[in-house]
Amino acid sequence: MNLIKNEWQKLLLRKSSWIMQLVLVLMVFLMALLLFFVNKTINTSEGSGEAPRGVTQHFDASGQPISEDQYNSIAKNDSEKAKQIRTEVLSPKDSVSALKMQKKAVTDKQTKEELQRQIDYYQVYADKGKTPLESAGGPDGAQFFGSLAQEASIATILVVIIASTIVASEFSGGTIKLLLTRPYSRSQVLASKLIICIIYAVISSIVLFVSSLLFSLMLGSESYSLPLAPATGSLNAYEMALKLTGTNFVLMLTFLSIAFLFSSVVRSQALAVGVGIGALFSGNIIATFLPLAIAKYDWLKWLIFNLFQLNSMALGNEVAGGLAMWQVILTLFAYIIVILGFTFYIFKKRDVALS
């Protein structure tokens, strides 16, 4: 416990650790300010800039509904007949009925799940007698808050910086020998630093959540208690923000453990930070190319780079390989345990005499 208190005091004394939190708040504010002016410009030039959202349904000359494929075929082959087709955006209640019919007609599991999320979305609006609106501009306050201001990666970078330097700074500052002369094992010393990194990750998550909520008020919203988008089903802004905070925290722990490993291996703070942030960005870049390889080699879906798409899954997207969210989270925790186990092993065996 004394070790944890000591590490916490060190963190408090480092101005950079709190300046980074101010930077996070500033980034959220600037994003809200940018969207405020974007929405204001669009609303000024195009009126409200909003239109009813619902399933688009096509009707033939006799008033019978036709599918999107049928409509495209007619539009391509018979321009005169295409002019007789009427297209309208269905109400939430009618959208639910149309989507249920589509769901019955498909057999693919993934497509069924996507349709069910859309059904859940429109069902809430139908039950409350509301009509979802689609803005021509940027996100409104509820969407801004639900996406955590699209700044989750910034919060993760801050945690990576702390984890990258917390051990390396002891080596570069020459204080590691003094630290290890105290009546604590190397594992206890390293564990105390790991706990502080996790606490900092919790603080960063809370700051991001609260600042996103506060600055979302600048943008206005019809309601924070209504579903955000068809892709995320019935989740409202609060539920979506909490879900994204949770998935991003898992990713924070993953990148934290990777950065912590390099912090324990290298002696240079600058090198540790560079490698830590490099791992974060390179991982996301590699993840964009993995789907092509996974289509050919299914086992590649378990690579850690593919699992970095966890936040994208929270927003309603699918991860390559068709993995469920619980599979991604459990696998990431397995990676975290292995990486941290390797980190503790290296630190216990490391010769500090050369520091």
Sheet containing 56-59: order of strands: 65-66, 56-59, 86-89
Integer angstrom CA distances of residue 135 from 38, 139, 224, 267: 12, 7, 15, 51
Is 175 in the same domain as 80? no
Tokens coding 247:
């998935």
Domain that holds residue 66: 51-131
pLDDT for the residue 339:
95
pLDDT, tens digit, for every residue of 27-84? 999 999 999 988 888 766 655 557 778 888 877 777 777 777 777 777 777 777 767 7
Give the integer Cα–Cα distance in Å for 200 and 193. Answer: 11
Q: Please state, in angstroms and rounded to a whole number, the distance separating the CA atoms of residues 355 and 352.
A: 5
Q: Is the pLDDT of residue 173 over 80?
A: no
Q: SS3 letters for 267-323?
A: CCHHHHHHHHHHHHHHHHHHHHHHHHHHHHCHHHHHCHHHHCCHHHHHCCCCCCCCC
| Higher local confidence (pLDDT), 277 or 31 | 31
26 within domain boundaries: yes
Percent of the chain whose pLDDT exceeds 70: 94
Residue 244 within a domain: yes
Domain-embedded: residue 261: yes
Question: What per-residue confidence (pLDDT) applies to 212?
Answer: 96
Which of 110, 131, 152 corresponds to the end of one domain? 131
One domain, residues 78 and 173: no
- Residues 229-245, mean pLDDT to the nearest whole number: 93
Mean pLDDT of the chain: 85
Q: What is the pTM of this model?
A: 0.88
202: tokens are: 């919790």
From 115, 131, 147, the end of a domain falls on 131
Q: How many CB atoms lie within 10 A of CB 111?
A: 13
Regarding whether 349 and 264 lie in a shared domain, the answer is yes
Q: Which of 32-41, 120-129, 171-180 has the lowest mean pLDDT?
A: 171-180
DSSP classification of residue 50:
E
Q: Tell me what pLDDT residue 318 has.
A: 85
Element (H, E) at 133: strand 133-135
- In degrees and rounded to multiples of 5, residue 67 shows phi and psi of -75, 170
Which stretch of 168-177, 250-259, 304-313 has the lowest confidence by average pLDDT?
Answer: 168-177
Regarding whether 163 and 94 lie in a shared domain, the answer is: no
What pLDDT digit, counting tens, does each position of 263-273 carry? 888 777 777 78
* Burial 131-161, CB ≥16 within 10 A → b, else e: ebeebebbbbbbbbbbbbbebbebbbbbbbb
Could you read off the pLDDT of 176-209 as tens digits, one per residue?
777 777 777 888 888 999 999 999 999 999 999 9
Residue type, 207: V
Provide the pLDDT confidence category of residue 119 given band limits of 50, 70 and 90: very high
Asked if residue 46 is part of any domain, the answer here is no
Residue 183 sits in the same domain as residue 68? no
- Judgement on whether residues 125 and 148 belong to the same structural domain of the protein: no
More confident residue, 262 or 84: 262
Sign of torsion over alpha carbons 58, 59, 65, 70: negative
Residue 353 pLDDT > 70: no
Mean pLDDT in residue range 80-99: 81
What pLDDT shows up at residue 181?
73
Q: What is the dihedral of CA 153, 149, 20, 260, to 10 degrees?
A: -20
Per-residue pLDDT tens over the stretch 299-343: 989 999 899 989 989 988 888 888 999 999 999 999 999 999 999
272-298 b/e (C-beta count within 10 Å ≥ 16 → b): bbebbbebbeebeeebeebbeebeeee
Out of 95, 113, 131, a domain closes at 131
If asked whether residues 248 and 120 sit together in one domain, one would say no
**307 and 343 fall within a common domain:** yes
pLDDT in the model for residue 215: 96
Coil, strand, or helix at residue 102? helix
Does the pLDDT value for residue 255 go beyond 80? Answer: yes
pLDDT at site 97: 87
| Domain match, 75 and 217 both | no
Cα separation of 157 and 147, whole Å?
A: 17
Question: Do 174 and 208 share a domain, yes or no?
Answer: yes
* Pair (58, 31) in one structural domain: no
The reply to whether 227 falls in a domain is yes
The tens digit of pLDDT for each residue in 18-35 reads 999 999 999 999 999 999
**Residue (of 83, 87, 94, 84) closest to 67 by Cα position:** 87
Confidence class for position 351, pLDDT limits 50, 70, 90: low
Confidence at residue 45, expressed as pLDDT on a 0 to 100 scale: 63
CA 263 to chain centre: 25
Contacts 24+ apart (CB under 8 A), 35-38: 35/137, 35/138, 35/139, 35/144, 35/219, 36/218, 36/219, 38/137, 38/138
Residue 301 lies in a domain: yes
- Answer whether residue 80 is part of any domain: yes
Provide the CA 37 distance to its chain's centre, in angstroms.
25
Residues 217 and 70 in one domain: no
Looking at the 3D structure of the chain, how many domains does it have?
2
Q: Does residue 306 lie in a domain region? A: yes
Tell me which residue of 201, 210, 189, 191 sits closest to 162, measured CA to CA.
201
Between 107 and 51, whose confidence is greater?
107
Phi, psi dihedral angles at 200 (to 5 degrees) = -65, -35
Mean pLDDT of the region 144-169:
90
Q: Helix H segments across the chain? A: 2-13, 15-46, 68-77, 79-83, 92-105, 109-128, 141-146, 152-165, 168-172, 176-180, 186-216, 237-265, 269-296, 304-307, 310-314, 325-349
| Amino acid in the structure at residue 139 | P
pLDDT of residue 137: 67
